[in-house]
Structure 1
């Protein structure tokens, strides 16, 4: 089983587009027989998140996570062809998934609770991969969980891009927060007061700076819809 994450970039991503992606498009993808499918889309519930960061133009407005037996098989090729009709630019990445805090279980097709923040990370050119992974996975993971109101934390390490001309991305991180985190830094960090917020933010900045995740990143606020889990009995 392999996991592929597809980024969808478009300047025209209104609520109709979001509803189409999590509705008819998702069902067409399911009809391909994919073992697993999750759609993360920037919609009205989260669009105005104060933690949005963008380096790509057009920006990422949706991400589709696909589980398949072969990332290079016909099933995946058909999925990419379908998704290509719904964005100006798509890029697909083969990833390995670590889940320090797995997402909550929800009925198929229903919105997961809260804000699903998707962060696209890039490894600094002057940092070797071993050091980068050690600082991200080994050092940063407990800091991220301790200093934020995170109730889901999934780390997707990019093995390689599988579409031509894909922007360089080294990791895609998914973190879930209470929906109040869309408009409140206190809710995002789980801070009791201003002093607590300042302390938590300083710890996060120091930790992310150690592996270059404080710059050159995209943070995409999304609503998460899980349609089929590859791990269901």
Structure 2
């Protein structure tokens, strides 16, 4: 089984809430009928409108992120899936990824919103590091720093294997971190510092120092609401 991730851009004049409902309704049904064994939808909707950290990856507006688990990424399988997404989108960009889950999110029943803020980061490798060294630092060193300095309630790391669409922007990994909903505008909640400014500064300093060692420039950040429509492991 393979995991595919698609960044979705709505039409400029779209009603975000209406398209979110459609994506999680009839389009989700089409995706499952076309062979998706698992489906997760992340939407940048009104519930995360107050998020202060928001940065289009490589200058590309991303309104939703769709994760699909399929038997194979072959064109014959992907074609119907991508056509369903394009039926409601201006553009999609897709990648095959490998998934690592340091902190399993606590998802409710299928189709319900997972509590909290789901922050999705599109990251690039630092050119100062080889790919093996980058993977080693990220997974075996930075992951511990991130867990120890932040109040994460979910942490999913997706390493990009290959791009799937012609216009996919450059990205080496797609990371999903979940926090209490108040974290979208309160750094003390994000970092779990309990309102202590010195502790917040300490935690942020450790996190930023670690990020600087392995991240390239132009990290894209998309705040979102997470909906697991169906699990491939159920």
Q: Where on the TM-score scale, by shorter chain, does this alignment land: which range?
A: over 0.9
The reply on whether 1:34 has 2:25 as its aligned counterpart is no
1:197 pairs with 2:162: no
1:94 aligns with 2:96: yes
Show the counterpart of 2:6.
6
Describe the shift of the 1:185–1:12 C-alpha distance in structure 2 as closer, same or farther (beyond 3 A).
farther
1:12-161 matches, within 5 Å, as 12=13, 14-161=16-163
Cα gap change, 1:76 to 1:105, in 2 (>3 Å): same
Over residues 98-133 of structure 1, what are the superposed CA-to-partner deviations in whole Å (9 max), with x where a residue is unaligned? 001112132110000100100000112342101111
Runs of at least 5 residues in structure 1 that lack an aligned partner in the other structure: none
Match in the other structure for 1:221 = 223
Please report the TM-score for the alignment, with normalisation by the length of structure 2.
0.93
SS at match of 2:166: coil
Please tell me whether the aligned partners of residues 116 and 225 of structure 2 are also in contact (alpha carbons under 8 angstroms).
yes
- Counterpart contact for 2:150–2:190, Cα < 8 Å: yes
**Structure 1 position 28, deviation (Å):** 2.0
Q: How far apart are residue 167 of structure 1 and its match?
A: 0.5
Q: 1:195 offset after TM fit, Å?
A: 1.1
Contact 1:109 1:227 in 2 (8 A): yes
1:158-177 matched pairs, under 5 angstroms: 158-177=160-179
CA positional deviation for 1:165: 2.5
Q: CA deviation at 1:27?
A: 2.2
Q: CA deviation at 1:73?
A: 4.7
CA distance in 2, matches of 1:6, 1:168: 13
For residues 35 and 158 of structure 2, the distance between their equivalents in structure 1, rounded to whole angstroms, comes to 23
Deviation at 1:12, TM superposition (A): 4.5
Aligned residues: 231
Task: Using the TM superposition, name which of 1-10 and 69-78 deviates more.
Answer: 69-78
Moved over 4 A (4+): none
Q: CA deviation at 1:18?
A: 2.2
1:64 Cα deviation after fit: 0.4
CA contact (8 A) 1:34 1:75 kept: no
Deviations 1:3-52 (A, max 9, x none): 00011124445222222222222222122231100001100001220121
